[in-house]
Structure formats: structure tokens, C-alpha cells
């Protein structure tokens, strides 16, 4: 695959001091600590709002870092191939639960523990057969309808996660975004 195929801009909300240190080069991209919460929507990694600097600012702690991200080998959940893999992985985990060797968590609102587990396990199982997902990408329908009867939601967005093993390969650069 061409190194520069599928490049997107992502925005990460964080503390202002950290954002400035990254932008000035005082902190390297490889030092960026991924999120490893059991409830992360798309598994463990560095989370970005795709083309959403305002959302990153609203969610973050005062700072926003823009990043030029090469999606690389992406578990893109807008693609039926990958959502089918995800469903198969869930069935495998469900079978383990039925055998009594695993207790599946539940998603509760924005805490997506089940989604996190299934995605992390799919990525791990893929690595066992030589497939290395570098990023995970998924749309989320969120918020109130844009207008009465609409299926378009005001806070919908695309979330993007760069997996820890691919930070140096996929984050091509960082910048200070213009936030109007």
C-alpha cells in the first residue's frame, strides 16, 4: 500500500501543557501515552476526532493537538469486511462465556467495555495470524436529532484510534489547530 494513501487530520483533546510540548517538539509522538481504559469505545490507543477540532476542544482539558494521520492497515468499521470480523470475534468470546472461561462485560451508555474487549481481542487474534491493525476507525451517531424526525444527529462524528504499536508509523506530524 502507498505510504500516503488514506491520510486524515485528527484532533486530540488534552491538557494545554502537553499539547504545547508536543507541538514544540519537547515531547515526542512516541512518548504519547495511549488510553488503556477497559471502557474505551474502539479499544486501546490514542484517540482522535477525525476532522473535528471543535469536538476535541469540547472534550479535552483545554488543549488540542492536531495530527496528520496515515491510517495504514485500518480496522475500518465503515467496511462490511471488518464489521463481519468483529461479529465473528464476538461469537468466539460468547462461546468462551458459555464455557465459563470468560465473563463478557456490558456496554453502559458511553462506557463501551464490551466493544473495547471485542476490538482488543480481534486485534490480538489478528496479530496471531500476522495481521497488524495500526488504526481503528468508526462513526458514532450521537446527540439529539438535527431536526424533528431526522436520523442525522447533532454530535455524530468519526472516532479514530492509533494503536500503540503504530504511533511512530501512523502519526506523520502534529500541529496547532486553528480553533475558531
Q: What is the pLDDT of residues 43-76, one digit of tens each?
A: 999 999 999 999 999 988 889 999 999 999 999 9
Query: Cα–Cα distance between 107 and 159 in angstroms, integer?
Result: 17
The percentage of residues in the chain with a pLDDT greater than 70, rounded to a whole number, is 97
Instruction: Decide: 66 and 53 in contact? Cβ < 8 Å.
Output: yes
In the structure, what pLDDT confidence band is assigned to residue 37 with cuts at 50, 70 and 90?
A: very high
What's CA 63's distance to the chain center, in Å? 18
Do the Cβ atoms of 111 and 35 come closer than 8 Å? Answer: no
Provide the β-strand partners of residue 9.
68
pLDDT digits (tens, 9 = 90+) for 131-158: 999 999 999 999 999 999 999 999 999 9
pLDDT at 5: 73
Amino acid at each position: 500500500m502507498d505510504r500516503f494513501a488514506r491520510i486524515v487530520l485528527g484532533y486530540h483533546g488534552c491538557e494545554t501543557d502537553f499539547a504545547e510540548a508536543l507541538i514544540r517538539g519537547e515531547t515526542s509522538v512516541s512518548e504519547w501515552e495511549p488510553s488503556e481504559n477497559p471502557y474505551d469505545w474502539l479499544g486501546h490507543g490514542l484517540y482522535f476526532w477525525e476532522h473535528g477540532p471543535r469536538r476535541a476542544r469540547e472534550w479535552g482539558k483545554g488543549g488540542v493537538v492536531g495530527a496528520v494521520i496515515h491510517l495504514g492497515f485500518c480496522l475500518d468499521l465503515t467496511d462490511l469486511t471488518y464489521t463481519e470480523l468483529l461479529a465473528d470475534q464476538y461469537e468466539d468470546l460468547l462461546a468462551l462465556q458459555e464455557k465459563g472461561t470468560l465473563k463478557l462485560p456490558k456496554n453502559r451508555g458511553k462506557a463501551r467495555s464490551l466493544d473495547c474487549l471485542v476490538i482488543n481481542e480481534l486485534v490480538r487474534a489478528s496479530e496471531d495470524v500476522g495481521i497488524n491493525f495500526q488504526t481503528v476507525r468508526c462513526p458514532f451517531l450521537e446527540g439529539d436529532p438535527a431536526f424533528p424526525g431526522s436520523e442525522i444527529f447533532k454530535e455524530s462524528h468519526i472516532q479514530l484510534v492509533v494503536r500503540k504499536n503504530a504511533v511512530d508509523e501512523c502519526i506523520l506530524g502534529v500541529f496547532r489547530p486553528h480553533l475558531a
